[in-house]
């Protein structure tokens, strides 16, 4: 075969084989894409980054296994089971017409039962509470699968009880409401004073977990833990447009052993102060995202112990309020003995944290600080989630 003939024959063969090679390549890539597509479908495109969300969020069967959420509490509220093991109670009626004899199907009727209940919602609803909603022990209020708002009326009271989970609720525009005779358990109603307008008041209670809620525009605090309240975790929530956001303790003797975890929350630019303000006990503030508070972020009185870890603090533009921390009602000689420590915090736009005292001892209940994943990712799904049965949240 001559040289020219060989080149011509090779060219013909190559031209013939190109479509086959391309077809095989496309087929192989299609198989790979198909496999990846299947994997994406299996995960539903869900990405969970923080340790609480990884426990449950990417499971498509959440609606059939709602009570598995109770296994996911971390921080000082770890072990809180809420209404796990109890019946499912469905809220079908958003009204709140009678604080003494609430109608079956209302939220008030469910939270005042004297047995464990896992409370869910049949549909989207806005609940305007005429009086504070007093929640009994062993309850979960689970807003997943519906858009549930507690708004334009009274807030929630968790008073001298234990084992309560509040998840997936938007609580906003809470007002002072009059006192009166209010149902506080299945078989008892009693007189209550005027409510101050807290979004959630945790008073003398233990094992309380607030997760994936949104709070804004309250008359008083958005979430307060007082009078011996302890073993509380506030996580994955959004706080916006409010002055005195979160108070932990009022200086009562009962609060010296108070323990609260504040984790994976987003504090918006409309927040003025108390993110949180701690008066006693031990508070772990871990992997939260702070965006331009208006006065200060973390404050304290009465010698609290505060461990700030892995938070992102973006200071306001106002030069007067760049400091993350504020000690109140104490001389410098006094507050220098308070144990306030910052570890792995990110300080931006001129923010600065003034530590004091000695080391803060860690405890097994504390959430390990995440330093490899940006805070923006850890908190990107804060607030109530859009959850549909059969799909990850």
- Measured in degrees and rounded to the nearest 5, phi and psi for residue 39 equal -65, -40
State how far the Cα of 371 lies from the Cα of 212, in Å rounded to an integer: 22
CA angle 363, 67, 388 (to 5 degrees): 115
- DSSP structural state of residue 323: B
Give the active site residues.
274
Please list, in sequence order, all residues whose beta carbon lies within 8 angstroms of the beta carbon of residue 29, skipping any fewer than 6 positions away: none
Q: Please report which residue ranges of the chain form alpha helices under DSSP H.
A: 3-43, 107-111, 332-335, 375-378
Helices and strands of the chain, counted as H and E runs: 4, 31
The answer to whether 274 touches 250, Cβ cutoff 8 Å, is no
Burial class (CB in 10 A: 0-12, 13-18, 19+), 372: exposed
Dihedral Cα 352, 356, 358, 359, nearest 10 deg: -30
As a residue count, the chain comes to 393
Burial class (CB in 10 A: 0-12, 13-18, 19+), 180: middle
- Measured in degrees and rounded to the nearest 5, phi and psi for residue 143 equal -85, 5
CA angle 292, 296, 300 (to 5 degrees): 145
- Please list the residues that pair with 286 across neighbouring strands: 263, 309
| Tokens read off for 344 | 């792995």
Pairing of strands 305-309, 214-218: unpaired
| Tokens read off for 215 | 């709070």
Which of 223, 87, 224, 75 lies closest to 142 in space, CA to CA?
87
């Amino acid at each position: 075969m001559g040289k020219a003939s060989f080149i011509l024959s090779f060219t013909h063969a190559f031209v013939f084989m190109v479509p086959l090679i391309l077809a095989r390549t496309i087929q192989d890539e299609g198989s790979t894409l198909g496999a990846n597509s299947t994997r994406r479908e299996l995960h539903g495109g869900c990405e969970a980054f923080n340790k609480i969300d990884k426990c449950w969020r990417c499971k498509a069967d959440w609606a059939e296994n709602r009570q598995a959420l109770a296994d996911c509490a971390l921080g000082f509220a770890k072990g809180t089971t809420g209404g796990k093991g109890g019946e499912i109670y469905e809220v079908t009626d958003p009204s709140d017409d009678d604080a003494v004899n609430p109608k079956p199907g209302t939220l008030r009727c469910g939270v005042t039962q004297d047995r464990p209940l896992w409370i869910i919602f049949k549909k989207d609803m806005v609940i305007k509470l005429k009086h504070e909603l007093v929640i009994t022990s062993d309850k979960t209020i689970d807003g997943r699968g519906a858009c549930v708002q507690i708004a334009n009326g009274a807030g929630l009271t968790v008073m001298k009880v234990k084992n309560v989970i509040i998840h997936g609720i938007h609580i906003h525009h809470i007002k002072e409401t009059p006192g009166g005779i209010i149902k506080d358990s299945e078989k008892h109603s009693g007189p209550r004073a005027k409510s101050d307008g807290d979004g959630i008041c945790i008073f003398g209670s233990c094992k309380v977990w607030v997760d994936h809620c949104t709070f804004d525009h309250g008359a008083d605090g958005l979430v307060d833990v007082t009078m011996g309240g302890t073993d509380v975790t506030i996580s994955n929530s959004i706080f916006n447009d409010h002055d005195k956001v979160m108070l932990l303790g009022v200086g009562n003797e009962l609060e010296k052993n108070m323990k609260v975890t504040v984790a994976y929350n987003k504090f918006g630019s409309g927040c003025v102060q108390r993110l949180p303000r701690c008066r006693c006990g031990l508070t772990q503030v871990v992997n939260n995202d702070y965006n331009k508070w208006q006065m200060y972020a973390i404050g304290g009185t009465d010698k609290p112990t505060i461990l700030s870890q892995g938070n992102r603090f973006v200071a306001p533009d106002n030069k007067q309020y760049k400091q993350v921390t504020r000690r109140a009602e104490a001389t410098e000689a006094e507050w220098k003995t308070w144990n306030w420590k910052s570890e792995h915090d990110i300080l931006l736009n001129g923010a600065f944290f003034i530590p004091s005292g000695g080391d803060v001892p860690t405890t097994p209940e504390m959430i390990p600080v995440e330093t490899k994943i940006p805070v923006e990712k850890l908190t990107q799904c804060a607030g109530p989630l859009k959850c549909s049965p059969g799909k990850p949240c």
